[in-house]
Amino acid sequence: MKYKILKAIDVSGLTFLAPIVRLATGEEPDVQIRAIMQMIVVPIVAFAVFVGLWSQLAPRHKTKSGEVPTPAVVWDAAQGIWTFHAREGDKETAYVLAGEQRESALMAAKDRLAEIDPLTELADRQVADAEQEKSAQVAELTAPLRTKLAVVSERYGADQAARKARWMERADRTAVSDTDARLALLGAWNEHDLRTREEREELKNLRAEIDTVGAQAFPALSAAQKAQTAIAEERQFLRKRIEVLTAYNRNEKARAGEQQLADLRSKYLQADGGAAMAGLAANIARTRTRVESIRESNYARPYTLPMQILRSLLCVFVGFLLGSLIAIPIGILCGLSPTFMAAMMPFIALFKPVSPIVWLPIALIVVGGFIPDPDDHWLINGFAGLPLVGWMKINPAFLASAITVALCSMWATMVNTALGVASIDDDHTNVARMLRLSARERLFRIVLPSALPLIFAGLRISLSVGWMVLIAAELLSSSEGIGKYVWDMFNNGASDSFAKMFVVVFVVGSIGLALDRIMIVFQRLVSFDGAPTAI
């Protein structure tokens, strides 16, 4: 049992769990505790130090989009993203609800709305109180400064007027012929001017100091505002939900349409004359089509981050698959034939360093050429018909992003496959020769199995490269996905956009980590002892 668990841990590469299992079974506690300290405690402490430094340093840097968000703000933003996603899901189901389910959902929404109405007032009052408290506190804090400002500014005003008056007086007394005196006066004016500017600067600094005190963070106020926003958002959501459950509901709209249809039919039956009947007949046909399309319709749900993550994952897998389907056969041919390798070398060397930013526009144009009408193309329709991924609305931008992923990520697989096939052990070749295996048997029974660990090492690199490339490609191609989400956040300038970008950093990182782990497991499963895997 213990060894089975340890074996599984080893295969999955989660080696940090091994000492815990060993400790639980009482094996050399000293050694295990040291291992746990090193493999678990140290990383956790390091991460805690990082979070601490982050929360200390972030607020000190002011940007156009506000302060750099602290970990707490980022956490709130993550929750906000999830709430938005859940509420959109609610609306989507509300749109198609019918009968009793709709009734009870409606009741629940109305109840909740009634519940939070007093809370809204409370929150508003709290915000007002906090604001008042803040202004009082600010007034108190700035009182000495403001007094000083008033005094100083008055004094400087008087000083300036007096200086100017003195100068005028001297000027009046200066004769035209007295050039020296006039030049001296010019110097005196400059001096006066300089003084005036210095005084103005001093006053400006004082005012800035007062402003700084006023702009200080006021935790009570921000907390009250946060509560107010949360309630306002829920209220808005509930109102929308009620709307989607009543007038906007699919079945309600269809019923209204049916009603209209019945009216029209009875009118038609009573109508006089061909012209009137024709008009009504056309109207009936139109209304019927409309009702039918309402019955088929779904809530026009905006993309939320969780959906975009799924779409990005699909995109990276499509690209990865495409890249592997190209890279592995070419890699095998390169490994088998030095001549073919020599023929491929210039292409590999030339195209490998090309950035995804260059591939993407080219891919967009080429894909656009193949798919002139995205609404009616067999490939797009084919994707739309698939289960699980049909809702993702595969479009040319998605395909171009996937192709970019393929073009950037396939090289690692290709080179590793070639290396794996070329470096097959002579002993194994001798076995194949002795058994007189055919070319096919040699490929599938000897060459590929022995190259498999290296092929998988290449695939692992390809997938992580592809995941990095994909975010950039989506950002540039506006293909719905994580990259587009970042771009939208960069452009929309909402107060929490900056924090949401930080959320994306952690999401992208965690998914990249998970993908790499999965590939490690595959790599370990196909590896035999002594296989070259350390790449």
Partner 1 sequence: MAYLELAKVSKGFGPPSQRTAVLADVELAVDENEFVAILGFSGSGKSTLVGILAGLIDPDEGDVMLANKVVVDPGPERGVMFQNYSLLPWLTVEGNIALAVRKVMPGLSRVERAEYVQRYVDMVNLTGSEAKCPDELSGGMRQRASLARTLAMRPNVLLLDEPLSALDALTRANLQDEIVRIWEEDKRTVVMITNDVDEAALMADRIIVLTPGPRATLGPSFDVDLPRPRDRAGLNRDRRFQALRKRITGYMLNFTKTQAGDEARSRRRMPAIEPRVFEAA
Q: Please, which residue, 44 or 434, has the CB nearer to partner 1? A: 434
Chain centroid to CA 63:
20
Q: Please, which residue, 212 or 438, has the CB nearer to partner 1? A: 438
Q: How far is the CB of 522 from partner 1 (least distance, A)?
A: 15
Using alpha carbons, select from 331, 323, 366 the residue that is nearest to residue 467: 323
Q: How far is the CB of 54 from partner 1 (least distance, A)?
A: 47
Using alpha carbons, select from 461, 425, 463 the residue that is nearest to residue 446: 425
Q: Please, which residue, 284 or 437, has the CB nearer to partner 1? A: 437
> For the window 428-447, what string marks contact with partner 1 as x by the rule CB under 8 A?
x-xx-xxxxx---x---xx-
Asked whether position 449 contacts partner 1 by CB under 8 A, the answer is yes
Q: Please, which residue, 399 or 531, has the CB nearer to partner 1? A: 531
Asked whether position 531 contacts partner 1 by CB under 8 A, the answer is yes
Q: How far is the CB of 349 from partner 1 (least distance, A)?
A: 30
d(CA 483, CA 469): 10
Classify the phi-psi angles of 178: left when phi > 0, otherwise alpha if psi is within -120 to 50, otherwise beta: beta
Q: Which H helix or E strand runs over 67?
A: strand 66-67
Angle at 46 between CA 41 and CA 47, to 5 degrees: 100
Structure tokens at 318: 């499509």
d(CA 535, CA 239): 57
Please name the amino acid found at residue 82: W
Structure tokens at 403: 């192709």
Task: Give the interface size with partner 1 as a residue count (CB under 8 A).
Answer: 19
Structure tokens at 496: 């929490």
Please give the C-alpha separations between residue 531 and each of 31, 431, 438, 451, 456, in angstroms, as whole numbers: 30, 18, 24, 9, 12
Q: How far is the CB of 440 from partner 1 (least distance, A)?
A: 12
CB atoms under 10 Å from CB of 476, counted, come to: 20
Q: How far is the CB of 302 from partner 1 (least distance, A)?
A: 50
Q: Output the CA torsion 93→508→223→228 (10° steps).
A: -20
Q: Please, which residue, 85 or 428, has the CB nearer to partner 1? A: 428
Q: How far is the CB of 372 from partner 1 (least distance, A)?
A: 48
Q: How far is the CB of 1 from partner 1 (least distance, A)?
A: 20
Q: Please, which residue, 154 or 441, has the CB nearer to partner 1? A: 441
Structure tokens at 59: 């607020």
Q: How far is the CB of 441 from partner 1 (least distance, A)?
A: 8
Asked whether position 376 contacts partner 1 by CB under 8 A, the answer is no
Asked whether position 528 contacts partner 1 by CB under 8 A, the answer is yes
Q: How far is the CB of 434 from partner 1 (least distance, A)?
A: 5
Asked whether position 529 contacts partner 1 by CB under 8 A, the answer is yes
Q: Please, which residue, 247 or 525, has the CB nearer to partner 1? A: 525
Q: Please, which residue, 235 or 428, has the CB nearer to partner 1? A: 428
**Residue numbers 302-331 binding partner 1 by CB under 8 A:** none
β-bridge mates for residue 266, sequence order:
none
- Binding region for partner 1 (CB under 8 A) out of 2-10, 14-22, 404-412, 426-434: 426-434
Asked whether position 21 contacts partner 1 by CB under 8 A, the answer is no
Q: Are strands 66-67 and 62-63 parallel, antiparallel or unpaired?
A: antiparallel
Can you tell me which of 109, 410, 452, 504 binds partner 1, judged by CB under 8 A?
452
Q: Please, which residue, 258 or 441, has the CB nearer to partner 1? A: 441
Do 237 and 80 contact (CB within 8 A), yes or no? no
CB atoms under 10 Å from CB of 19, counted, come to: 22
Q: Which H helix or E strand runs over 88?
A: helix 71-96
Q: Please, which residue, 191 or 441, has the CB nearer to partner 1? A: 441
Q: How far is the CB of 525 from partner 1 (least distance, A)?
A: 11
Q: Please, which residue, 317 or 522, has the CB nearer to partner 1? A: 522
Q: Please, which residue, 117 or 441, has the CB nearer to partner 1? A: 441
- Binding region for partner 1 (CB under 8 A) out of 183-191, 323-331, 365-373, 449-457: 449-457
Asked whether position 530 contacts partner 1 by CB under 8 A, the answer is yes
Give the number of C-alpha atoms closer than 13 A to the C-alpha of residue 30, restricted to the C-beta side: 0
**Residue numbers 471-510 binding partner 1 by CB under 8 A:** none
Using alpha carbons, select from 181, 163, 161, 184 the residue that is nearest to residue 173: 181
Asked whether position 410 contacts partner 1 by CB under 8 A, the answer is no
Q: How far is the CB of 431 from partner 1 (least distance, A)?
A: 5
d(CA 451, CA 459): 12
Q: Please, which residue, 490 or 528, has the CB nearer to partner 1? A: 528
Handedness of CA 192, 195, 197, 200 (dihedral sign): negative
- Binding region for partner 1 (CB under 8 A) out of 163-171, 318-326, 376-384, 527-535: 527-535
β-bridge mates for residue 63, sequence order:
66
d(CA 405, CA 463): 9
Can you tell me which of 308, 450, 462, 523 binds partner 1, judged by CB under 8 A?
450
Going by C-beta distance under 8 Å and a sequence separation of 6 or more, which residues neighbour residue 15? 9, 39
d(CA 151, CA 334): 86
- Binding region for partner 1 (CB under 8 A) out of 93-101, 326-334, 345-353, 522-530: 522-530
Length of the chain: 535
Interface contacts to partner 1, rule CB under 8 A: 427-428, 430-431, 433-437, 441, 445-446, 449-450, 452, 528-531
